[in-house]
Chain A
Amino acid sequence: MKRAIVIAAALVFGGLLINAIVDLPSSPVDLRIAVADNMANSGVSHPVTAVLLNFRGYDTLLEIAVLLLALIGLMAAGPMLPPPPNQPADALLQKLARIATPPVIVVGGYLLWAGAFRPGGAFQAGAVLAAAMVLLHLSGLLSAWNAQLLPLARRVILVGGFVLFLCISVALLAAGSLLQYPPHQAGLLILLIESGLTLSLAAILAGLFLFLSRDNGGAP
């Protein structure tokens, strides 16, 4: 009974939604023009990076805070057992992980650098580095993280990107208004923030996996 009602409601909802989307008049506000007009002052030449780090830098600041909160929640809810000692995985997989990791780190660095003028940036670079860490863990080369025993260096990397971003925005608030970069230093500030964000995002995204994982790659 519930099933039939929900399916009927979903069909009606979907139909109305699609109807609304197809009939929607074009929006009176075109943000493309606003973005294009201000690109010269943004410090970067790739519009998506300009929106993320400059025009809507506020969103990105809050986003990294949300990610940290999610990670802290996950550490609190995660497994209480300490991770088992690493067991070496299949030799071939381990070799592959050893060969693949250095180029992946280079790709991460390139994506961070490329974000200023073409598709790429801190998010993609962080995600690629996190994927490399997950690969290392699955091949038994990097042990899972223990939420109870977290070395200071790891904590610094986890919160570093957020703290750096926050400090820069507070400093800018003292100088004028929140996250309004002076046009001449904008490019440098964005690169600095993005570098911090890349490291923190890589650690946080990898942490989402490494704090939870209590399997070692080798054992089935």
Chain B
Amino acid sequence: MSSELLFAVVGALIFTLGVAGTVLVANLLRRILAFNLMGSGAFLVLVGLAQRGGESDPVPHAMVLTGIVVAVAATALALALLRKQHEMKDSEEELTEIDDG
């Protein structure tokens, strides 16, 4: 097995881990992490599989480069939504506490 193929297999493993994590984990921050693992696994499969013959291939490199930048933007948006949800939960609890008092 060439090391490129090895990394493609590792990518498949990480992708599977990410899928299972995204489904099973309840905490939203952990879910964002697991989703990012899925992305990284897919990138490894893309690049590893494309150059298992040994030569490097610029097309998947460019695709993965684009993918990494989009992934960080998606992560930041998800984190913004998570923080908003947290803030709203906080103010909701404050409101109910005032009602109880």
Where the two chains meet, the residues of A that have a C-beta atom closer than 8 Å to any C-beta of B are 2-3, 6-7, 10-11, 13-14, 17-18, 21-22, 24, 26, 31-32, 35, 47-48, 50-52, 56, 59-60, 63, 66-67, 70-71, 73-74, 77-79, 123, 127, 201, 204-205, 208-209, 211-212
Contact = CB atoms under 8 A, between A and B. Distances in A.
Contact of A50 (B20, B58, B69, B79): B58
A59 to B, nearest CB: 6
Contacts of A78: 80, 83-84
Interface residues of B, number: 39
Contacts of B92: none
Contacts, number: 109
Given A10-B16, A21-B5, A21-B12, A77 B73 contact: no
B82 to A, nearest CB: 9
A66 B76 contact: no
B99 interface: no
B83 A79 contact: yes
A17 B65 contact: no
A32 B16 contact: no
B9 A22 contact: yes
A74 B1 CA distance: 44
A21 B10 CA distance: 11
A208 to B, nearest CB: 4
Nearest to B59: A31
15 contacts: A6-B23, A6-B24, A10-B17, A10-B20, A21-B49, A22-B1, A31-B57, A51-B61, A51-B62, A59-B66, A70-B76, A73-B80, A77-B77, A78-B84, A205-B69
